[in-house]
Amino acid sequence: MPYDLKSGKIDEVIVAVVEAGGDIKSAIEEVARKENITSGIVLSGIGTLRRAVLRNPKTYSMPPEVLLIEIDGPVELLSLEGNISIGIPEEPGAEGGESINVHLHAVVSNKEGRTFGGSVASGNIVWRQVELAIARISGIALRREREEESKLTRLVLGKT
């Protein structure tokens, strides 16, 4: 089975609290810029949301059709993890040059206790607060590049 593997180390763990009204993805991007994190791991995120917006592929076509799951709250953020890299914007149809790129996946539950999961889109708005733990890593350069055939982004590993 083909895979790419690089090793590095955790240099520092940053804990951040996103207050009511904040967008989770935008907040993590801001923390990454402020703390100069270009290669990082979002270790955990928990809290409550007013609204959750998740994406899931619906088809195997390239690019795949996407199911957008929008849940109005209150919503419990049960688990959040992902990575921080340098590269092109990840959002479908996004334009622009290289910048901080935050790729996140989450599991949430609605007010009936039903769970949903997927890739985190913009628009996940904090209700009370969300608690984050983010690791700055060294020895590995995380980079997000767009595949020409699929039009999707993929993580590329390098050494620093």
| Residue ranges of domains in the chain | 9-154
Q: What's the pLDDT tens digit per position in 24-52?
A: 999 999 999 999 999 999 999 999 999 99
Q: Which pLDDT value is given to residue 151?
A: 79
Collapsing DSSP states into helix, strand and coil, what is residue 8?
A: coil
Task: Tell how far CA 105 is from the center of its chain.
Answer: 6
Contacts of residue 151, Cβ cutoff 8 Å, sequence gap at least 6: 62, 63
**Cα gap 83→122, rounded to integer Å:** 15
Residue with tokens 């935008």: 26
Return d(Cα 107, Cα 132) in angstroms, integer: 14
Mean pLDDT by runs of 10 across the 160 residues of the chain is 90 98 97 97 98 96 92 97 88 68 97 97 97 98 88 89
Q: At residue 108, what are phi and psi to the nearest 5 degrees?
A: -130, 160
Q: What's the half-sphere exposure (Cβ side, CA atoms, 13 Å) at 127?
A: 15
- What CATH number labels 9-154? 3.30.1330.80
- Residue 79: partners with Cβ closer than 8 Å, 6 or more residues away: 44, 45, 46, 106, 107
Q: What is the pLDDT of residues 61-77, one digit of tens each?
A: 988 899 999 999 899 99
3-state secondary structure of 27: helix
